[in-house]
Amino acid sequence: MTQRPFRILGIQQIAIGGASRDPLRRLWVDMLGLRLAGEFRSERENVEEDIAVLGEGPHQVEVDLMQPIDPARSPRVDQPALNHVGLWVDDLPVAVAWLQAQGVRMAPGGIRKGASGHDITFLHPKASEEFPIAGAGVLIELVQAPPDVIAALGGGTTPA
């Protein structure tokens, strides 16, 4: 394996789904004290979400509280309830190219703007014959870290 030409810097978000956002908001915002920072809706992705946050600045982590717009349509953002984990990466295009070259299966859609305005892409939760490495059942989002996050979390050198 060649040296990894990018760094994973930290957790950007966790995304949790339910049939309704109301019980999620009651737990994460009302009971645990996370702050609501916004909302997101996408007909294409069949999702309505509250964006709750923990921490500040480059150390802030989103907890996306999601429900499907139409429970009869796919994707079902509430199945599984822990929908995905988002990771900050210092160079998304380089990471995607290197991961694919190593046999990692990427989800359809390529690199695109995410709900928070950052470029994102996903590692597929299931491997295939062509791409034998995947998320082992977990959807993993890679999120291009902005310069302030790279400066705050990116110390050290690129890992081997």
The CATH number that applies at residue 45 is 3.10.180.10
Containing domain of residue 30, as a range? 8-153
Residue 158 is assigned to a structural domain of this protein? no
- pLDDT at 1 (0 to 100): 63
- pLDDT at 155 (0 to 100): 63
pTM higher than the cut 0.75: yes
- pLDDT at 154 (0 to 100): 81
Task: Answer for the pair 153, 9: CB distance below 8 angstroms, yes or no.
Answer: yes
Residue 2 is assigned to a structural domain of this protein? no
Number of domains in the chain: 1
Residue 92 is assigned to a structural domain of this protein? yes
- pLDDT at 158 (0 to 100): 45
Task: Answer for the pair 63, 48: CB distance below 8 angstroms, yes or no.
Answer: no
Low-confidence ranges of the chain (pLDDT < 70): 1, 155-160
- pLDDT at 68 (0 to 100): 98
Distance CA 136, CA 62 (A): 23
Bridge partner residues of 144 (DSSP): 89
Task: Answer for the pair 104, 45: CB distance below 8 angstroms, yes or no.
Answer: no
Instruction: Tell me the CA distances in angstroms from 61 to 23, 32, 51, 132, one per residue in order.
Output: 20, 14, 10, 30
